[in-house]
Amino acid sequence: MERDQAHIKLEELRNLLEKYGYHYYVLDKPLVPDAEYDEKMQELIKLEEEFPDLQTADSPSIRIGGAPLDAFVKVQHEIPMMSLGNAFNEQDLHDFDRRVQQGTGEPVEYMCELKIDGLAVSLLYEKGSFVRGATRGDGTTGEDITNNLKTVGSIPLRLNKKADIEVRGEVFMPERSFENLNEEKEKNGEMLFANPRNAAAGSLRQLDPKIAASRNLDIFLYAIADDKGLGLPSHSKSLEYMKELGFKTNPENRLCTSMDEVIDYVNSWLDRRNDLSYEIDGIVVKVDDIDHQEDLGFTSKSPRWAIAYKFPAEEKVTTLEGITLSVGRTGVVTPNAQLKEVQLAGTTVKRATLHNEDLIREKDLKIGDQVVVKKAGDIIPKVVRVLDELRTGEEKDFQMPETCPSCESRLVRLEDEVALRCINPHCPAQLQEALIHFVSRNAMNIDGLGEKVILQLFSHDLISNMTDLYKLEREELIELERMGEKSVQNLLDAIEASKQNSLERLLFGLGIRFVGSKAARTLAEYFETMEKIRSAGIEDLIAINEIGEKMADSIVNYFDQPEVNKLLDELKELGLNMEYKGPKRKEAAEDSLLSGKTVVLTGRLETLSRKEAKEMVEMLGGKVTGSVSKKTDVVVAGEEAGSKLDKARELGIEVWNEGNLTEAASSLT
């Protein structure tokens, strides 16, 4: 085929596949059988491979997934992706309505939308073409996941108009896709996803887009990031405009003329939510009129013109079949309820933590009881109460053991604690949990060393403590199940690389009681070496603002143990770094340029990351906040600073560039 003919044919195929995809993914009305769609897609791919210079960035072939990325790039949201305030009952909704009417001076209409239980994303289009997609992140900074989002069939790669627009939506995994995915994982002996939301989030954060493409994700778009230039009078008109552009919006949205109508809508979904093919966890209620929205404005965290009604946690009755015990890395022995399998909030629940013996007594739990269970926050299974009126007399009391279920050492209850604790430092269960913590993301961050691998290494007697990890050899690992040449080499490389971690990671990984990742960073910054931390006294530690007496006492007691010092000496001999490698924080003098001032960072900085810029501001005595207001003293503006810079100029706030900040910071060194 000649190049000109190929160009025409490619355009025909792309238009045809876009039409098929829109009807299939957005309208849910397929025009052709799947086989015909697949045939046309293969024809397109083959022709693009033959004429690679004719492939376009918005071709439907992109949806099958491209080459893996090394890492995700951070994205600054010019218009923040704010969270919503919550309502938990009808009175909360009436209170919201009262505040709205006080702010607008008149009754308003509300747009009600199903609150999809997924992952919020932002999609940017230039001249009608999809150019960037990002996660919400912390609302100000997200991650660029464009390649993964291109694999979602219901996200248009080209709009029906050549519009420059940014829209917001919720990516989710339909229940059927979730069930298929977990069935596949179970066959492969892999850990199952807890719920569709986790599965959707995990899929979008895969560095390989082909994985995201295989997960059959979907999306509903719910807002235009900034519709002021479009002249749309209401949120409902914005949703209609998005549909015209080719976006998928939720057909269950409803415009209500009063709060009573809103409540009727909410109540109608309390029983019907399980009829949907996707999960929802509430209803979002928004003031419809755009002028009213502007009148009401925002708090520092959320719009005053919108609220999220959260469904009450679903409750089910099931049987308490038994109580088992687990031993944590600090030696705490926790009783766990073994439940007759029950479907709850979209997932299968078989167990729930009972926390401690006192809770079992307080709830009067007996093995064999009929119990009411729910998910706290729709996430964590919890035993709510016993239905003692259903007891048959066959139920049995539960007694906590006197010895550790792992090592049989005598359990103790420390002063002012309700938990029973195993204090044997060689307890296998504690050692396993300690190692799982040691290799975790916020600690030594050893990729490939998850819980299953740690337990496998334990069961084969290859490790018993932290030092053993750094003595593992290829020959013994290659014999393990599911350990091929490549995975073994990757694991050994990751273990070797972890030796170069900055001190705070090792410090957190040691699992010192009361020392979290933030406290570990504070200690590492202040003392700079492990040796200085090991020799620090209580007075030295409590001299640091963030370290209290309880934590200081725990740290001193930890480093007083001979076995701990032996462990650290061995880790040092094995080549682990014992020094802090991060930026040094200096105490800002009272006359520092930003002492006591509130600073906002905006735009793209050329030489500094957002984290580095924040640390410089703090080094100069300032405090960084996310939004510009009358309380802001300085705005540091980079490229494409946008609305925050405009607002700073309107309010007459001092504006710095990146050079001003680095120059001020360098004056302290």
- Provide the pLDDT for residue 401: 92
Question: Per-residue confidence at 319, pLDDT binned at 50, 70, 90?
Answer: very high
* Three-state SS annotation for 371-407: EEEEEECCCEEEEEEECHHHCCCCCECCCCCCECCCC
**DSSP per-residue letters across 433-468:** HHHHHHTSTTTT--TT--HHHHHHHHHTTS-SSHHH
Question: Per-residue confidence at 522, pLDDT binned at 50, 70, 90?
Answer: confident
- Provide the pLDDT for residue 589: 52
Mean pLDDT, residues 63-92 taken together = 81
Short-list 182, 221, 187, CA closest to 199: 182
- Provide the pLDDT for residue 377: 53
Mean model confidence pLDDT for the chain:
87
- Provide the pLDDT for residue 210: 85
Tokens linked to 422: 């195993």
- Provide the pLDDT for residue 367: 96
CB of 396 within 8 A of CB of 366? yes
CB of 280 within 8 A of CB of 116? yes
3-class state of residue 585 by DSSP: coil
**DSSP per-residue letters across 201-239:** HHHHT-SSHHHHHTT--EEEEEEES--GGGT--BHHHHH
Cα 506 from Cα 499, distance rounded (Å): 9
Q: What are the residues facing 353 on neighbouring strands?
A: 336
Short-list 668, 669, 602, 665, CA closest to 634: 602
> What are the residues whose beta carbons fall under 8 Å from the beta carbon of 237, sequence distance 6 or more?
none
Spot the catalytic one: 40, 115, 286, 374: 115
Cα 27 from Cα 255, distance rounded (Å): 21
- One-letter amino acid for residue 656 of the chain: W
Express each pLDDT in 419-474 by its tens digit.
888 988 789 999 999 999 999 988 999 988 888 899 999 989 999 889 999 999 99
Question: Per-residue confidence at 189, pLDDT binned at 50, 70, 90?
Answer: low
- Provide the pLDDT for residue 73: 87
Express each pLDDT in 251-290 by its tens digit.
999 999 999 999 999 999 987 887 898 989 899 999 999 9
Cα 150 from Cα 171, distance rounded (Å): 12
Mean pLDDT, residues 580-602 taken together = 73
Cα 18 from Cα 22, distance rounded (Å): 6
- One-letter amino acid for residue 577 of the chain: N
3-class state of residue 81 by DSSP: coil
Selection from 107-121, 572-586, 627-641 with the highest mean pLDDT: 107-121
DSSP label at residue 131: E
- pLDDT of 68 over the 60 cut: no
* % of the chain residues with pLDDT over 70: 93
CB of 374 within 8 A of CB of 313? yes
- pLDDT of 88 over the 90 cut: no
Cα 354 from Cα 376, distance rounded (Å): 13
- pLDDT of 196 over the 70 cut: yes
- pLDDT of 390 over the 90 cut: yes
Cα 462 from Cα 108, distance rounded (Å): 67
Q: How many alpha carbons fall within 13 Å on the CB side of residue 532?
A: 12
> Is 115 a known active-site residue?
yes
3-class state of residue 414 by DSSP: coil
> What are the residues whose beta carbons fall under 8 Å from the beta carbon of 322, sequence distance 6 or more?
337, 338, 367
Question: Per-residue confidence at 20, pLDDT binned at 50, 70, 90?
Answer: confident
Cα 180 from Cα 214, distance rounded (Å): 11
- Provide the pLDDT for residue 450: 86
User: Could you give the dihedral angle defined by the CA atoms of residues 30, 33, 39 and 45, in that order, rounded to the nearest 10 degrees?
Assistant: 20
Question: Per-residue confidence at 224, pLDDT binned at 50, 70, 90?
Answer: very high
* % of the chain residues with pLDDT over 90: 45
* Three-state SS annotation for 547-562: CCHHHHHHHHHHHCCH
Q: Please name the helix (run of DSSP H) or strand (run of DSSP E) that holds residue 347, with its range, or none.
A: strand 347-353
Residue ranges and CATH numbers for the domains of the chain are 3-64 (1.10.287.610), 85-310 (3.30.470.30), 313-419 (2.40.50.140), 428-498 (1.10.150.20), 503-573 (1.10.150.20), 598-666 (3.40.50.10190)
- Phi, psi (rounded to 5 degrees) for 573: -65, -30
3-class state of residue 619 by DSSP: helix
Short-list 218, 24, 213, 211, CA closest to 119: 218
DSSP label at residue 410: B
Among 19-28, 479-488, 551-560, which is the least confidently predicted range? 19-28
Mean pLDDT, residues 613-637 taken together = 82
Cα 461 from Cα 472, distance rounded (Å): 11
- pLDDT of 585 over the 60 cut: no
Cα 434 from Cα 442, distance rounded (Å): 13
Cα 628 from Cα 613, distance rounded (Å): 17
Express each pLDDT in 635-667 by its tens digit.
998 877 777 888 888 898 999 988 888 888 776
Cα 427 from Cα 435, distance rounded (Å): 12
Tokens linked to 259: 């709060």
Tokens linked to 52: 């690679």
- Provide the pLDDT for residue 295: 87
- pLDDT of 34 over the 70 cut: no
Question: Per-residue confidence at 329, pLDDT binned at 50, 70, 90?
Answer: confident
Among 27-36, 215-224, 481-490, 623-632, which is the least confidently predicted range? 27-36
Question: Which of residues 223 and 416 earns the better pLDDT score?
Answer: 223
- Provide the pLDDT for residue 399: 92
Express each pLDDT in 144-159 by its tens digit.
999 999 999 999 999 9
Question: Per-residue confidence at 69, pLDDT binned at 50, 70, 90?
Answer: low
Axis crossing angle, helix 259-272 with helix 90-104, rounded to the nearest 10: 150
> What are the residues whose beta carbons fall under 8 Å from the beta carbon of 72, sequence distance 6 or more?
143, 144, 145, 205, 207
- Provide the pLDDT for residue 139: 85
- One-letter amino acid for residue 573 of the chain: E
